[in-house]
Amino acid sequence: MESLGRHILVEFYGCDVNLLNKASAVKEVLEDAARAARCTIVDSFVHQFSPFGVSGVVVIAESHLTIHTWPEYGYAAVDLFTCGEEADPWKCFQYMQEKLKSRNSTTMEVRRGTLNVDLLRHKPQPVKVAA
Amino acid sequence: MESLGRHILVEFYGCDVNLLNKASAVKEVLEDAARAARCTIVDSFVHQFSPFGVSGVVVIAESHLTIHTWPEYGYAAVDLFTCGEEADPWKCFQYMQEKLKSRNSTTMEVRRGTLNVDLLRHKPQPVKVAA
């Protein structure tokens, strides 16, 4: 079944607690994960919560990578969503698993935008090109 | 089973094609979806691809909302990820379904950061408060 994108939902447990609470480090890991899969970074954003926790987003031409951390649990919720044939989100996963020093994790891969009857029912339509 | 967050993966089919290709409109829908669920917007970002397609992210204190659109298919991949007891991601879903004029959709709700053995094994640890 063809799809427009692949999305891996990752729960990283047992991570490096102090890294998870450092916005600049989290941002670097997320950006480098995008580069590890040869994705094109469009923009990135990170937010430090008080007292604990970081949220990070890297918008890539191929979709997005996100992270939300709970340092007090050594836990991070990560989404790795890539479109197209070139990018492999599992390369992002492998890079992040190592950098976050996650001792265990669970993953779920979901195909997004499957070209099933729903999409075929709405064949490509003329769209006004954006200004 | 307790969890830290709820994440709804949405495939919106049969949407308003021209809205899907207008970055400002997509951003407004995403931000208003966050408000519909009384989420706190931390930052938002939108990118217009050439010739078609928009990516949008709203980072909320409760996690994130994202959208990636394929106007030529009338399709949008949407993620609605909220943490805490207050926010209800289904309110975001209902708001967006109406505004995008989606004729059909599929959804999948995933519990993120389930407080199972993995998290309990790593009980809350002392974390240095961020500067």
Residue pLDDT, tens place only, B23-35: 999 999 999 999 9
CA distance B68 to A4: 11
Is the pLDDT confidence value at B120 over 70? no
Tell me whether B107 touches chain A (CB under 8 Å).
Answer: no
Residues of chain A with pLDDT below 50 are: none
**pTM of structure:** 0.90
**Predicted confidence (pLDDT) per residue in B66-101, tens digit:** 999 999 999 999 999 999 989 999 999 999 999 999
Nearest to B127 among A17, A57, A106 (CB): A17
Q: What pLDDT score was predicted for residue B128?
A: 74
Is the pLDDT confidence value at B117 over 70? no
Peptide bond into A51 cis (omega under 30): yes
**Rounded alpha-carbon distances, angstroms, from residue A101 to A61, A79, B42:** 27, 17, 28
Q: Which residues of B touch A127 (CB under 8 A)?
A: 17-18, 21, 51-52, 71-72
Task: State chain B's mean pLDDT as an integer.
Answer: 92
Tell me whether A23 touches chain B (CB under 8 Å).
Answer: yes
Contact B45 A48 (CB under 8 A): no
B3-13 vs B41-48, strand pairing mode: unpaired
Residues of B with catalytic roles: 63, 68, 83
Q: What pLDDT score was predicted for residue A124?
A: 66
Is the pLDDT confidence value at B6 over 90? yes
Q: What pLDDT score was predicted for residue B125?
A: 67
Tell me whether A77 touches chain B (CB under 8 Å).
Answer: yes
Residue with tokens 């954006």: A130
Nearest to A42 among B14, B47, B127 (CB): B47
Contact A42 B48 (CB under 8 A): no
Q: Which residues contact B52 (CB under 8 A, 6 or more apart)?
A: A127, A129, A130, B21, B70, B71, B72
Q: What pLDDT score was predicted for residue B101?
A: 98
What mean pLDDT comes out for the span B37-50? 96
Residues of A with catalytic roles: 63, 68, 83
Distance from CA of A70 to the nearest CA of B (A): 9
ipTM above 0.85, yes or no: yes
Q: What pLDDT score was predicted for residue A114?
A: 87
H-state helical runs in chain A: 17-20, 23-36, 89-99, 117-121
Contact A130 B17 (CB under 8 A): no
